[in-house]
Structure 1
Amino acid sequence: MNRIVVVNWVAVDGIFSGPDGETDWFTPDEELASENLQNLPKASTILFGRVTFKMMEAFWPTQEARSRFPEIAAYMNGAEKHTFSTTVNSSSWQNSYFHKEISRETVTAIKETAKGDIVILGSGDVSMALHRLGLIDEYSLILDPQLLGAGKPFFRNINRTALQLLDARVFPSGTVCLNYKVIK
């Protein structure tokens, strides 16, 4: 069965979004961007929470996105997008599906129909809910070399969990990509 992989950018102090949800603090790195672009197609399906979905929906279907980042836009627009929200239930963004609640049954049904791995981009609340259900298979954490001091911590309200390091890579910017398997 397909894996569920969380991919998230995290500052050294564990913060993944600024006090107002901003992500403009990511340290740019061309080599990391190139590697991320190569890895995206491994996942055919993306899981989102409402906030991340609305942010992505506002950019990726646009002409600007297709002009500036053609390969990423093609992937984002073509992938199946499943959003968990009690308030958003439709979108004109192609291949978008909506679910009122995060449940083992819903996620299992998504896994059974996915044509590849499933990735969670951002969406901290969805990631932690799936973690609590024991449904996360891997974490790919992009550790940014800075301390934000304020913002939303990524890991919260979860039980102790053993992880196995699969791969670690340091990029020219000092950013480190850490890939972990969740030990179940």
Structure 2
Amino acid sequence: MSPVVVSTLVSLDGYVAGPGGDISGLPMDASFDALNLERLRAAGTLLMGATTYRGMVGYWPAVAADPTVSPAVALDPSAADLHRETAQRNAALPKVVVSDSLTPADTGPWADTTTIVRRADAHAAVAALRAGAGGDVLVFGSRTLWGDLLAAGLVDELFLLVGPVVLGAGLRAFPDGVPAHLRLRDTARRPGSDNVLLSYAVGTGDAEPSS
């Protein structure tokens, strides 16, 4: 089995973005970057919605070629290797995008590693990925997608990096009407960061967490 793993940054009051989808108020510090790379190292497939995919394909290929174009690297040159590896893994991993609007023309440099799945086929496609082998099925961002998958019982683990900010409004992490039973597996905090990582298993099974 390849668990479906959601990894997301969330404000203290439960938002994954501010009004208008603005994520600039969230604390995307070194702990956020390190978590993303950890999850990528454990992944066999990236699963995304169209908005997240467009943002990633428009950003990471340039970082793979030159990490200094990343604002984080410009602030801290020692982060270059982390961002380069992140960019390379984003490029190399198979990517499944659930969308009725994305076309092959939108996939650009990631065309050879991207599969587009229509929304009506999403549950079946994710169930097939989950039943396979070869690493986590990793979801970054894509709250609309993983909210739907959570309601359908197709999410196995949640990694919520909770930042010490209160956005007050915006896109809530958990949409209305989506029940979920979560079991806390671990909490962690990295030196120098006020972000706190909460790791949850979805449901009541006793499976071991992903590494």
The two structures have a TM-score, normalised by structure 1, of: 0.91
Post-superposition shift, 1:39? 3.3
Post-superposition shift, 1:83? 0.6
SS in structure 1 at match of 2:27? coil
Distance 1:32 1:85 in 2: 26
CA RMSD of aligned residues (A): 1.8
Q: Give the equivalent residue in structure 2 for 1:45.
A: 45
- Percent identical residues: 30
- The number of aligned residues is 183
Equivalent residues in 2 for 1:91-170, closer than 5 Å: 91-92=107-108, 93=110, 94-101=112-119, 102-113=121-132, 115-170=134-189
Post-superposition shift, 1:114? 5.3
1:9 and 2:12 are equivalent in the alignment = no
SS in structure 1 at match of 2:46? strand
Q: Which runs of 5+ in 1 are unaligned?
A: none
Letter in 2 for 1:138: E
Letter in 1 for 2:103: N
Q: Give the equivalent residue in structure 1 for 2:103.
A: 89
By percentage of residues, which structure has more strand? Answer: 1
Q: Give the equivalent residue in structure 2 for 1:66.
A: 65
Distance 1:145 1:32 in 2: 13
Contact 1:59–1:65 at 8 Å: present in 2 too? no
Q: Give the equivalent residue in structure 1 for 2:199.
A: 179
Contact 2:150–2:180 at 8 Å: present in 1 too? no
Contact 1:45–1:114 at 8 Å: present in 2 too? no
Letter in 1 for 2:113: N
Distance 2:6 2:180 in 1: 15
The two structures have a TM-score, normalised by structure 2, of: 0.80
Distance 1:153 1:54 in 2: 21
Q: Give the equivalent residue in structure 2 for 1:75.
A: 89
Gap change, CA 1:124 and 1:71, over 3 Å in 2: same
Contact 1:15–1:154 at 8 Å: present in 2 too? yes
Post-superposition shift, 1:104? 2.6
Distance 2:171 2:160 in 1: 15
Gap change, CA 1:55 and 1:5, over 3 Å in 2: same
Contact 1:8–1:140 at 8 Å: present in 2 too? yes
Residues 128-181 of structure 1: CA deviation (Å, up to 9, x unaligned)? 110111000010000011101121111013443221111101233210000000
Distance 2:199 2:100 in 1: 31
Residues 33-86 of structure 1: CA deviation (Å, up to 9, x unaligned)? 334423321011111111111111101122x44321210011100011111111
Gap change, CA 1:35 and 1:105, over 3 Å in 2: closer
Residues 107-134 of structure 1: CA deviation (Å, up to 9, x unaligned)? 1223345521111100000001101110
